[in-house]
Amino acid sequence: MFRNLRTVLGRICHAKPFHLCERRYLLREPFHPLKRCPKWVCVEDAVKIINSEHLVFVQGGAATPVELVRAMTEHGLCNNLRSVRLFHMCLEDDAPFANPEFEKHFRSISLYVGANVREAVNDGRADYIPIFLHEAPRLFYEKQLVPDIALIHVSTPDARGFCSLGVSADCTRAAVCTAKIIVAQVNEHMPRTHGDTVIHSSHFDLAVKYDCPLPSVASTQPNELEYEIGKLIAQRLIDDGATLQLGIGKIPDAVLHALSYHKDLGVHSEVLGDAMVDLVEEGVITNRNKKKHRGRMVGSMAVGTKKLYDFLHANPFVEMLALNYVNDPRVISEQPKMTAVNSCIEIDITGQVCSDSLGCKIYSGFGGQLDFAQGAAKGEDGHGKAIIAFPSVTSSGESKIQPVLKNGAGVVVTRAHAHYIVTEHGVAQLFGKTLRQRANALIQIAHPDHRECLEKAAFDRLKTNPTKYL
């Protein structure tokens, strides 16, 4: 056995340079023995390899390779490229390729729709793939998507030539494992993170040195109402020793602000943000009770400010892992007292949750909401909680709890998946409730100005007064 192993290793170490399609196997190894050096070029030369009808993967989140995106867009216009397809998660900073004047040159295809491509998607100039985020890497591993080129953003190489994908593991690992050509923007400001982010520079076909701060996404301070919701969730639904998943936004931040007196919380979350850093430094987040990755925070993407990025750099307390693991409901269900907190656009009186569209207009995407709702609700210890939280009314005063969803609204969390619904007026527990009981519970946490109207609508829809079925 050992003789055969030495023979195999000897062949690998003395092999000729590997073909690009073999990279997907070598990337799984912790060390690449061939030491093939990338070709260092200027950014304008790096994007010249992009041709018409190419399929290009663009790393997303705070790891968006902004300079490569800029140069690619100019290259497409100057050389009159046609039908270049760009696959990506939510991108930070500008997305100039989504502007109307580039419609013939580029077509954006999002796995999660950000503000910078939202108009293009709804105008028909860009596309969106509805998908559970834990399944996104499958598109690449099962060869439904085989990128001609992957544009990625990495840290500077260490003494052994290893770089890091930094703040965005998500589906980037899957994309680079299957891409024919890899182009890397190398940036000294990209934090070197632990987990599924390690990649050797020998895998880059072209590399561009471009140092710039990562996109800074500062949280907006929650208002008084949002703080009230956060306090309600923290006090009534989050136990000491719980493992948390929270998204980015005012309500998740409000929840985190209200957790200062909790003990030994853990984090297993698709997105990591600034507010989590404070709880780590206060000794509230310890990950001490986690069954998997004990003593470590787990995330797949990080979006925030320099405070967060500095915290992540060379920090073994944090592991950045791929979406097909982090968002897998089976993995999520194994965490102790798994508590998932997410928000939504609207909910109907039977518990159907719309989170990805405003009527027929796509707003965001499935994201990881149902991944974590399922995983938390199926918690193996029987103490998981799937929470949907939102203010009872919109900024214009319209009720977020509606008799029926708007025409064309997308259901992300079904009636059967909706468990805990929270507004500033209380908590509605829907699991195991009849339609009438659900309607009554939701009406009780609606804004008082809208309750009478909702009661009438519930009577019309359910043919009886729901309060009789408490």
Half-sphere exposure of residue 122, counting CA atoms within 13 Å on the CB side?
18
Burial class (CB in 10 A: 0-12, 13-18, 19+), 194: middle
Structure token digits, residue 433: 């409730």
Amino acid at 454: L
The DSSP bridge pattern shows strands 357-358 and 301-302 to be: unpaired
Structure token digits, residue 3: 């003789």
User: How many other CB atoms sit within 10 Å of the CB of residue 324?
Assistant: 21
The pair phi, psi for residue 120, each rounded to 5°, is -65, -40
Residue 307 to residue 309: CA distance in whole angstroms: 6
* Residue pair 248/271 in contact by the 8 Å Cβ criterion: yes
Degrees, nearest 5: CA angle 294-296-301: 135
DSSP string, 180-191: SEEEEEE-TTS-
* Residues in contact with 323: Cβ distance below 8 Å, sequence separation at least 6, in sequence order: 133, 134, 136, 137, 169, 170, 171, 270, 300, 368
Q: In the chain, what is the straight-line distance between the N-terminal and C-terminal CA atoms, in Å?
A: 68
* Residue pair 93/71 in contact by the 8 Å Cβ criterion: no
* Residue pair 140/88 in contact by the 8 Å Cβ criterion: no
Residue 193 to residue 133: CA distance in whole angstroms: 21
* Residue pair 247/343 in contact by the 8 Å Cβ criterion: yes
The DSSP bridge pattern shows strands 162-164 and 198-200 to be: antiparallel
H helix and E strand count, the chain: 16, 27
Three-class SS of residue 427? strand
Residue 142 to residue 140: CA distance in whole angstroms: 5
For the annotated catalytic residues, the residue numbers are 270
The pair phi, psi for residue 119, each rounded to 5°, is -65, -40
* Residue pair 322/196 in contact by the 8 Å Cβ criterion: yes
| Cα–Cα nearest to 175, from 141, 201, 206 | 141
- Per the listing, tokens 């109402």 go with 225
